[in-house]
Amino acid sequence: MATFIVLASFTDQGIRNVKETIGRAEAFKEMAKKSGITVRDLYWTLGSHDVVAICDGPDDESATALSLSVCSRGNVRSETLRAFSFEEMKRILGKMV
């Protein structure tokens, strides 16, 4: 499984309806599950992003499909980062030529 960090920011629509953010988070978890992705952690944050999700999924395509599905609803814009664990990074560095 690959790890993905999702950084989300509320759109104008999303912040107008911010009281629905918990329900939208539950819907996100269900959408992720249907995409074969597990939401490991979900945080509301201060700063340039409003929500951070840490997810595990089978591949980049699944993560991209989930991101597009969520963003198409109009409440957030997101940036998805592929994250590598310590062990994964060791393997990557071992493949350097």
pLDDT at 8: 98
Stated length of the chain: 97
Separation of alpha carbons 42 and 10, rounded Å: 15
* Counted domains in the chain: 1
DSSP 18: G
- Please report, for the domain that includes residue 9, its CATH number: 3.30.70.920
pLDDT at 75: 98
34-85 tens-digit pLDDT = 999 999 999 999 999 999 999 999 999 999 999 999 999 999 999 999 999 9
pLDDT at 51: 98
Question: Residue 74: which domain range?
Answer: 2-94
Separation of alpha carbons 55 and 2, rounded Å: 8
